[in-house]
Chain A
Amino acid sequence: MRILLVEDDAILGAAVADQIRSDGHSVDHVTRLDDAGTALKSSPFDLMLLDLMLPDGRGVPFLKDIRAKGDVTPVIILTALDQVSDRIAGLTAGADDYLAKPFDLDELSARIGSVSRRYAGNPNPLISLGDIEVDIAAKQITKAGKPVVLTSREWAIFEVLLQRPNQIVTKTQLEEALYSFDDSIGSNTIEVHVSHLRKKLGKEIIVTSRGLGYRLGQP
């Protein structure tokens, strides 16, 4: 997943970004609402983590504004304002979840997972694909009862496909998921990871639509 983190506190922002990356997602960290607005316009994000009190304004009006403009990016508010009225304000402005500071990073990971699963239309973290069982929340995969270990890059790509079960996902979209891994994405990076995934999970797991991209198959 590609996640936009809007948090002006450098230390907290760094730790959250670190956690998100270790979960296998890519992250863009900005500290101002202006930059967040620009980022949302320039690239698609699977989720936004939004602080409410930023140097150049408040998060709630910003959220209302982007929702009014038709932006449907899932949003989790991360804030120090923990009163019920603040939560109601945030949720009615269009947030999908709300996490008060200080929070556990593991809880944040769990909420990111649950919000994105809900958006994908399958709130159940357990997905069955033939003899493959995937627990998205726990990031565990078993094939015929035996655990399969994926690298975080492989997981990032696999997760994007899992979240769009019946759609073709373009190569660019998959590259977006690897965006934060800091290594330059070569022309055949996606092909390499897809080939590794096929090796671990079976040939049929990813179907190539020539010239268009990839989609999840039915092994």
Chain B
Amino acid sequence: MTLGGRLNSLRIRIALFVGLMVTVFWLIAAALTVSHLFAEVSENFDRDLRANAERILPIVLQKHRDDVYRPPRDEHEEEEHGGRRDDDDVEFVVTSERHGLLMQSREASAITFPTEPGYHSDDKYRYFVDVVQRGDVTIAVARPLDAREQLALAVMGALSMPLLIVIPLTLLGIFILVGRGLRPIKTLEDEMGKRGPSNLSPISATDMPRELVPVVDSGNRLLERVAEGFEAERSFASNAAHEMRTPLAGAIAQAQRLKAQSSDPIAVERAGEIEASLKRLSRYGEKLMQLARAEGARLRQEEQTDLRPVVRIVLEDFIRSQRNDHFEMQLPDDPVMSDLDPDALGIVLRNLVENALTHGEAGKPVQIELTADCVLTVSNDGETIPAATLERLGQRFMRGDGAGDGTGLGLSIIHIIAERSNATFELLSPRPDGASGTVGWFSF
């Protein structure tokens, strides 16, 4: 993933932005703390420097007075004084207008002391100069700036140390918490992913954060429109079927009445021909409606229904209208629950049975079985269909041998229904368990 790609993650973006902001604010806070602390420390150091001056001066003056009345002390004693002062880094020089240099620390000669009273700094030392004894005695003390700088560094170090630990932890924390906060988006994504031609139920907006409710709402409006589209297509198919079927039924019925009532054999024959043509037309019409339905309608329902009645109703229909055919039906005792549209299964079963009747051996029963694990099989005895023909049969308007009045659409309708409803359809010939015949195997 590229950096741009990574930044497309809401989670990473929020973590980065918030992390950056926290770092900057922390740094500002640290800087303010450091500068405030530094001012305090400087003040303390200055006070200390002045205290040093005030402590040294009486000693120097006292010593000066003693020296006037006493011979000068030996070097050793002086060194002792100087050595002790060296301990706290303070260098000093005390001068008198009248008496010249009164005393200075050991390193003091290397330092150029300012002369103006007050605090001064250069790049190595901090100075304090005081003039006492009515302007006669000037004391100048100096202390290296190192100590202050070291302290400031220590403070800054102490302040930035947590930063090194806290910032990555903050980033990690934000990343994890934002991930948690964004979980409803993942939920929404999962919910959306479940939707499709088979499931157009609205997504529930309860439990969704306020920000996502408009997204859910507009998603639901879209689903609604899609569902309406499906519904329109469905009702078009059934309305069109109705519009076509009723006049066809009228024409067929009239032709049959004509056949029944006419005593003229030619008229009877003609009426029979009209009837046959109309029946053929009606078969095509029916298949086209089934095809439209297979391609357009919703094939999975929101609810599960028992599909055993579908098998019973369709077979009952066959048994009543084709009295001489034998069927062997096997249904489980318990309901076969599925979200497959019962009408779609009806279409599949009708086409499979029609095919089995057309291609099966006359007089041998067609076996229909629906199992508890949602597999519908329709099998018949008869000649084995060559593999090449089997393959061809799935294509539209393709007929098997000997299917003179078939429409060639039945199997492709089943294929479409299988594909659109995530079901599996296979046509096997010969039957796996028998020597001959064909079995249609529809698993949904």
Which residues of chain A have a CB within 8 Å of any CB of chain B? Answer: 9-16, 18-19, 22, 53, 80-85, 87-88, 91, 100-107, 110-111
Q: Is the CB of A88 within 8 A of B250?
A: no
Contact partner of B320 (CB less than 8 A), chosen from A16, A18, A111, is A111
Q: Is the CB of B320 within 8 A of A102?
A: no
Q: Which residues 341-363 of B have a CB within 8 angstroms of A?
A: 342-343, 345-346
| Given A9-B247, A111-B320; A15-B256 close (CB under 8 Å) | yes
Is B22 engaged at the interface, CB distance under 8 Å to the other chain? no
Q: Is the CB of B257 within 8 A of A80?
A: no
> What are 18 A-B pairs with beta-carbon distances under 8 A?
A9-B247, A10-B250, A11-B247, A11-B251, A14-B254, A15-B257, A19-B253, A19-B260, A80-B244, A80-B245, A80-B246, A81-B242, A83-B343, A100-B245, A102-B248, A102-B253, A103-B249, A104-B256
> Please, which residues of chain A bring their CB within 8 A of the CB of B279?
102
A110 to B323, CA, bound (A): 11
Q: Is the CB of B254 within 8 A of A15?
A: yes
Q: Is the CB of B314 within 8 A of A105?
A: no
B183 CB, min distance to chain A CBs, angstroms = 40
Is B338 engaged at the interface, CB distance under 8 Å to the other chain? no
Q: Is the CB of B342 within 8 A of A85?
A: yes
A85 to B243, CA, bound (A): 19
Is B118 engaged at the interface, CB distance under 8 Å to the other chain? no
Per CB-CB distance, the 5 closest pairs between chain A and chain B, nearest first, are A15-B253, A12-B250, A84-B346, A11-B250, A80-B245
A31 to B241, CA, bound (A): 20
A18 to B259, CA, bound (A): 13
A10 to B242, CA, bound (A): 15
A195 CB, min distance to chain B CBs, angstroms = 30
> Please, which residues of chain B bring their CB within 8 A of the CB of A10?
250
> Please, which residues of chain B bring their CB within 8 A of the CB of A83?
238, 343, 346
Tell me whether chain B's interface is mostly helix, strand or loop, or mixed: helix
A133 CB, min distance to chain B CBs, angstroms = 21
Q: Which residues 212-240 of B have a CB within 8 angstroms of A?
A: 238
| Given A81-B242, A88-B309; A107-B346 close (CB under 8 Å) | no
A111 to B278, CA, bound (A): 22
A118 to B166, CA, bound (A): 88
Q: Which residues 144-160 of B have a CB within 8 angstroms of A?
A: none
Contact partner of A101 (CB less than 8 A), chosen from B249, B310, B320, B343, is B249
Is B313 engaged at the interface, CB distance under 8 Å to the other chain? yes
Is B199 engaged at the interface, CB distance under 8 Å to the other chain? no
> Please, which residues of chain A bring their CB within 8 A of the CB of B278?
102
| Given A81-B241, A82-B241, A84-B314; A9-B246 close (CB under 8 Å) | yes
- B241 to chain A: closest residue by CB: A80
Is B8 engaged at the interface, CB distance under 8 Å to the other chain? no
A103 to B257, CA, bound (A): 13
Is B252 engaged at the interface, CB distance under 8 Å to the other chain? yes
For the complex with contacts A16-B253, A103-B321, 17 further pairs of A-B residues with Cβ separation under 8 Å are: A9-B246, A9-B247, A11-B251, A11-B253, A80-B242, A84-B313, A84-B345, A88-B313, A88-B342, A100-B245, A101-B248, A101-B249, A102-B248, A102-B253, A104-B252, A104-B321, A105-B253
A91 to B346, CA, bound (A): 16
> Please, which residues of chain B bring their CB within 8 A of the CB of A16?
253
| Given A84-B313, A84-B343; A105-B238 close (CB under 8 Å) | no
Is B367 engaged at the interface, CB distance under 8 Å to the other chain? no
> Please, which residues of chain A bring their CB within 8 A of the CB of B320?
107, 110-111
> Please, which residues of chain A bring their CB within 8 A of the CB of B309?
84, 88
A162 CB, min distance to chain B CBs, angstroms = 22
Q: Is the CB of B260 within 8 A of A22?
A: yes
> Please, which residues of chain A bring their CB within 8 A of the CB of B310?
84
B380 CB, min distance to chain A CBs, angstroms = 22
| Given A80-B246, A81-B238; A87-B253 close (CB under 8 Å) | no
A119 to B276, CA, bound (A): 34
Is B104 engaged at the interface, CB distance under 8 Å to the other chain? no
A102 to B249, CA, bound (A): 4
> Please, which residues of chain B bring their CB within 8 A of the CB of A12?
246-247, 249-250, 253
Q: Which residues 285-305 of B have a CB within 8 angstroms of A?
A: 286
B303 CB, min distance to chain A CBs, angstroms = 12
Q: Is the CB of A85 within 8 A of B343?
A: yes
A105 to B314, CA, bound (A): 20
> Please, which residues of chain A bring their CB within 8 A of the CB of B252?
102, 104
A144 CB, min distance to chain B CBs, angstroms = 29
Is B282 engaged at the interface, CB distance under 8 Å to the other chain? yes
A111 to B345, CA, bound (A): 25
Q: Is the CB of B250 within 8 A of A15?
A: yes
A210 to B362, CA, bound (A): 57
A110 to B310, CA, bound (A): 23
A81 to B343, CA, bound (A): 11
A107 to B253, CA, bound (A): 11
A151 CB, min distance to chain B CBs, angstroms = 17
- B251 to chain A: closest residue by CB: A11
A14 to B249, CA, bound (A): 11
A144 to B251, CA, bound (A): 42
A107 to B279, CA, bound (A): 14
A18 to B262, CA, bound (A): 13
